[in-house]
A and B are shown apart, each in its own frame.
Chain A
Amino acid sequence: QMWQVGKRQASRAFSLYANIDILRPYFDVEPVQVRARLLESMIPVKMINFPQKIAGELYGPLMLVFTLVAILLHGMKTSDTIIREGTLMGTAIGTCFGYWLGVSSFIYFLAYLCNAQITMVQMLSLLGYGLFGHCITLFVTYNIHFHSLFYVFWLGVGGLSTLRMVAVLVSRTVGHTQRLILCGTLAALHMLFLLYLHFAYHKVVEGILDTLEGPNMPPFQRVARDIPVVSNAVLNTTAKAVALTL
């Protein structure tokens, strides 16, 4: 009897607080629309005097974040990345969702300060679609390991998607200082995130002698990466040196 009452109360509380039906209108999309929006996210708009329309939809961004997680996992697996505290899956999901939700909230807060006309859902949607460029870049460069190719993609593809987001935000903000703050922050975070994802999560096959490699190791050393050729060479020369001195 008590079980029945308890169950009824719990289900009432559950339906009140965990009502996911409020998210229902954001998932009402057709495949054509999603494809169109994906392609649009790479094209910066020219008209910044008129507030650009942003589709407040969550299906596309959510799928893109999950795709980014999958690409990260694939990259980590192919490069035998070892994460000492935590799991591969947890790290990937934490990074991607943390970026999407965290940076969206931060930019939304800045937009509130700078008086920009954008809602939270629109910001989530905009940033989510901006991750499409990241997905493409990482997918290509995790499989083809050329540094110069990565930089081309970083500037080209990453730049395009950043420009689109920036243009949309500029069209919705008045005042030069505000525009500068908002768009500068977003551009910096977006481009740096791509850089971070590339260098932190996959094995660097060639280019250990590349001087640009140095500062790009993440401060918290999560991976134990070893290039067998180099370490063997070092071992051999050390052994030879020791043998010579003896």
Chain B
Amino acid sequence: MSNFEQFHFDFYQSNYTIDDQEDSYNSYGSNKNLCGTRKTQTIEELPASAFAPSEMLLSSQSYTGQILQPTYSPDTLSHLSYTDGFDEEPPLLEELGINFEHIWQKTLTVLNPMKPADGSIMNETDLTGPMVFCLALGATSLLAGKVHFGYLYGMSAIGCLAMHALLNLMSIPGVSHGCVASVLGYCLLPMVILSSSAVIFSLQGILGTLLALFIIGWCSFSASKIFTSALAMEGQQLLIAYPCALLYGLFALLTVF
């Protein structure tokens, strides 16, 4: 009994530090991350990968507490469970920061360019949607016979860096890399539509060119709309739309040719 109590005491001690780290990782994750003045560099990996190291750290810390208690089963320490037990764990998606409702909202904002954008939806840096759209673009290109995954990733990375630099120069509050990557990724959705139509008919004629131009306009209009509403740069929507149009034009070039 005394052993057990000692165990609880030890467990509670290590738990406290685990909770603390847990909190800090949560704050780096989706819900509290502001798209505003955050200039620290560490944040914008996928939430899943951010949680993986914390999990390993957790298990190493908890095991040191357990050396005295070999009979305690490690099951309840799986998957970042902390306070009491398995039942009190939050659902997996919430831990990973994937909020389907928000993803759907942002997708609808992109698909309907006439709808006024809500500036606060970009406060969470969510890279799940963009990753899915990027992979979808690669997959539809694959269906059309072009294996361009490397070019896609390279162009999106460099495009994000360039847009981040430009937006930081042009706006008064700065932006974080994650915010830029998130917005540009979401607005890639119409490009997926273009790429899937490339499977059905070749885009190298007049019709293809017109469709590509229309899709580029749609993408850059949505992207600039979200950027201007998030950064309060009302009069400069056209100035932001143009670099976005150039970037999406590159993607369209990749899709068409």
- Report which A residues bind B (CB closer than 8 A): 11, 20-21, 23-24, 27-31, 34, 59, 63, 66-67, 70, 73-74, 77
7 cross-chain CB contacts under 8 A: A11-B41, A29-B236, A29-B239, A30-B239, A31-B239, A59-B239, A63-B246
Interface 1/0 per residue, B218-257 and A, CB below 8 Å: 0000000000000000011011001100100110010001
User: In this assembly, does B169 line the interface, its C-beta being within 8 Å of a C-beta of chain A?
Assistant: yes
Q: Tell me the minimal C-beta distance from A102 to chain B in angstroms.
A: 21
Q: Do the beta carbons of A74 and B253 come within 8 Å of each other?
A: yes
8 Å CB contact of A27 from B169, B242, B253, B257: B169
Q: Do the beta carbons of B169 and A70 come within 8 Å of each other?
A: no
Q: Tell me the minimal C-beta distance from B57 to chain A in angstroms.
A: 14
Interface 1/0 per residue, B142-184 and A, CB below 8 Å: 0000000000000000000000011011100000000000000
Residue of B with least CB distance to A73: B253
Residue of A with least CB distance to B170: A27
8 Å CB contact of B169 from A20, A34, A63, A67: A20
In the complex, chain B residues whose CB is within 8 Å of the CB of A66: 243, 246
Residue of A with least CB distance to B42: A7
Q: Do the beta carbons of B246 and A24 come within 8 Å of each other?
A: no
CA of A30 to CA of B165, assembled, Å: 18
Q: How many residue pairs bridge A and B at CB < 8 Å? A: 37
CA of A24 to CA of B168, assembled, Å: 8
Q: Tell me the minimal C-beta distance from A124 to chain B in angstroms.
A: 15
Residue of B with least CB distance to A63: B242
In the complex, chain B residues whose CB is within 8 Å of the CB of A21: 169
Q: Do the beta carbons of B168 and A34 come within 8 Å of each other?
A: no
Main secondary structure of the interface of B (DSSP, over half): helix
CA of A59 to CA of B243, assembled, Å: 10
In the complex, chain A residues whose CB is within 8 Å of the CB of B41: 11
Interface 1/0 per residue, B110-128 and A, CB below 8 Å: 0000000000000000000
Q: Do the beta carbons of B249 and A34 come within 8 Å of each other?
A: no
Chain B, range 35-55, C-beta contacts under 8 Å to A: 41
Beyond the given A70-B249, A77-B253, please list 8 additional residue pairs across the A-B interface where CB-CB is below 8 A.
Answer: A23-B169, A27-B166, A30-B239, A59-B170, A63-B243, A66-B246, A67-B246, A77-B257
Residue of B with least CB distance to A31: B238
CA of A143 to CA of B94, assembled, Å: 52
CA of A74 to CA of B246, assembled, Å: 12
CA of A113 to CA of B103, assembled, Å: 59
In the complex, chain B residues whose CB is within 8 Å of the CB of A34: 239
8 Å CB contact of A30 from B236, B246, B253: B236
In the complex, chain A residues whose CB is within 8 Å of the CB of B238: 31
- Of the listed residues A21, A31, A77, the one surrounded by the most CB atoms of chain B closer than 10 A to its CB is A31
Q: Tell me the minimal C-beta distance from B201 to chain A in angstroms.
A: 18
CA of A34 to CA of B239, assembled, Å: 9
Interface 1/0 per residue, B188-226 and A, CB below 8 Å: 000000000000000000000000000000000000000
Q: Do the beta carbons of A70 and B165 come within 8 Å of each other?
A: no
CA of A193 to CA of B169, assembled, Å: 30
Q: Tell me the minimal C-beta distance from A132 to chain B in angstroms.
A: 13
Residue of A with least CB distance to B254: A77
Q: Do the beta carbons of A31 and B236 come within 8 Å of each other?
A: yes
Interface 1/0 per residue, B56-77 and A, CB below 8 Å: 0000000000000000000000
CA of A214 to CA of B222, assembled, Å: 48
In the complex, chain A residues whose CB is within 8 Å of the CB of B250: 70, 73
Residue of B with least CB distance to A24: B169
CA of A197 to CA of B253, assembled, Å: 20
- Of the listed residues B41, B169, B238, the one surrounded by the most CB atoms of chain A closer than 10 A to its CB is B169
- Of the listed residues A11, A27, A28, the one surrounded by the most CB atoms of chain B closer than 10 A to its CB is A27
In the complex, chain B residues whose CB is within 8 Å of the CB of A63: 242-243, 246
Q: Tell me the minimal C-beta distance from B73 to chain A in angstroms.
A: 35
In the complex, chain A residues whose CB is within 8 Å of the CB of B235: 30-31
